[in-house]
Amino acid sequence: MNYFSSDFKLGILGGGQLGKMLLFDTRKFDIQTYVLDPSDEAPSKIACNQFFKGDLMDYETVYNFGKQVDVLTFEIELVNLEALTQLENEGLKIYPSPKTLKGIQNKGVQKDFYAQHNIPTAPFARFENLENLKSAIVNQHSTINLPFVWKCTEFGYDGNGVKVIRQTSDLDNLPNVECIAETMIPFKNELAVIVCRNPSGEIKTYPVVEMEFHPEANQVEYVICPARIDEKVAQKARAIALNVSEKFNHVGLLAVEMFQTHDDEILVNEVAPRPHNSGHYSIEASYTSQFENHLRAILDLPLGNTDSKVAGIMVNLVGAEGFSGEVIYENIETILGWNGVTPHIYGKKQTRPFRKMGHVTIVNEDMAEARRIAEEVKNTIRVISKK
């Protein structure tokens, strides 16, 4: 198959920032892209060859889009699975496969999958709806002890649909949907490993990254590569991530989020079958970015080197509280003056509190120096709006 400057068409479901960054590499290789997204202001709109506006959850829309391309991928899990399944049955190459996505889209199914394949994960129980969960607690159902973590199984995103339940009253006002109750695991570190795998079975992992949380606010502040952990633990985490990818028979990128417990046990939290926030550092720090490797993987090309050239840290740029409207990146000129600092602006014209507007990567030969600069970046740039 000739992909380069040819008539080949890659379809991408979703035109957000992940798609936008993927397009840097389709452009670099001059591979034609069709993008489907519901928004006229999708960050991917400009750099693709053909942009289609439409609902990613609508069967007809996704099906008709898929019929126009040679290979189909997605940058978001919330897409119409039935349409993908039908397209795959009709012979379209879809990576990751809808079969894989089906095992991931629903967190209950995903957790069952780990249990069935002896992949270490936190103990949990599934419930058809909130009422069943409540009665299970009332009836002292053995597997559930307070405190626990409530997660709705579908359509949760960026922390939505997750809540720590310390007393039964915390369940009040939660939606009455399918959910799981997961044992709360005290952990030392939250880690992630990105795996890439192509249809021929070539498979590679990126180094383990570490999510550093704000001491008070329970919010990731820095994604740090490589994680500042023991090499044995890192090897174990990469081995588990490889195993998860192979068990899913996954093609493309799989981001595996994990907990490192206090006794250095590794538990899989959840996975994302696409380029991931925890891999953004790779654009500047790695020999091959996660986006280029996703592209190589789904086109069954050889995978690129996942090693790092230098230490990398990523800081998310989210809308500051109390600001809504036309975005301003306060002090961006200041941070541009610092060594190894690269802002990525996703192209959303309007900011809202906590909206993901971009990220900043800090690279340096010396991790401690990168960490110092990252903290200055975090404390200097602000995503606000025009007064």
Question: Which residues contribute to the site for a copy of itself (CB under 8 A)?
Answer: 2, 4-5, 20, 23-24, 27-30, 46-49, 287-288, 292, 296, 301-302, 304-305, 309-310, 327-329, 332-333, 336-337, 339-340, 342-349, 363, 365
Which ranges in 248-321 belong to alpha helices (H)? 282-285, 290-298
Min dist. Cβ of residue 1 to a copy of itself (A): 9
326 annotated ligand binder: no
Between 151 and 197, name the residue whose CB sits nearer to a copy of itself: 197
Min dist. Cβ of residue 7 to a copy of itself (A): 9
Q: Which of 274, 253, 282, 385 is nearest to 342 (CA)?
A: 282
Determine the 3-state secondary structure of 82 from DSSP. helix
From residue 300, alpha-carbon distances to 65, 71, 98, 289, 296 in Å are 22, 11, 17, 16, 6
Between 236 and 378, name the residue whose CB sits nearer to a copy of itself: 378
Spatial separation of the C-alpha atoms in residues 146 and 130, rounded to whole Å: 15
b/e burial code for range 188-221 (CB count within 10 A of at least 16 → b): ebbbbbbbbbbeeeebbbbbbbbbbeeeeeeebb
Spatial separation of the C-alpha atoms in residues 377 and 175, rounded to whole Å: 38
185 annotated ligand binder: yes
Min dist. Cβ of residue 31 to a copy of itself (A): 8
Between 269 and 324, name the residue whose CB sits nearer to a copy of itself: 324
Q: Where are the beta strands (DSSP E) in 61-119?
A: 71-74, 93-94
Min dist. Cβ of residue 344 to a copy of itself (A): 6
Between 20 and 107, name the residue whose CB sits nearer to a copy of itself: 20
Between 48 and 374, name the residue whose CB sits nearer to a copy of itself: 48
Amino acid type, 285: A
Between 274 and 344, name the residue whose CB sits nearer to a copy of itself: 344
Min dist. Cβ of residue 371 to a copy of itself (A): 17
203 annotated ligand binder: no
Long-range contacts of the stretch 76-81 (C-beta < 8 A, 24+): 76/13, 76/14, 76/16, 76/18, 76/274, 77/101, 77/104, 77/105, 77/272, 77/273, 77/274, 78/105, 78/155, 78/157, 79/13, 79/14, 80/56, 81/105
Min dist. Cβ of residue 20 to a copy of itself (A): 7
Min dist. Cβ of residue 365 to a copy of itself (A): 8
Kind plus residue range of the DSSP H or E element containing 78: none
Q: Which of 232, 206, 203, 195 is nearest to 312 (CA)?
A: 206
284 annotated ligand binder: no
Q: 107-116 vs 98-105: helix axis angle to the nearest 10? A: 100
Min dist. Cβ of residue 4 to a copy of itself (A): 5
Between 85 and 380, name the residue whose CB sits nearer to a copy of itself: 380
270 annotated ligand binder: yes
Q: Which of 209, 225, 197 is nearest to 293 (CA)?
A: 197
Between 145 and 287, name the residue whose CB sits nearer to a copy of itself: 287
151 annotated ligand binder: yes
Please report, in range form, the residues annotated as the binding site for ATP: 107, 151, 182-185, 190, 269-270
Binding-site residue ranges? 107, 151, 182-185, 190, 269-270
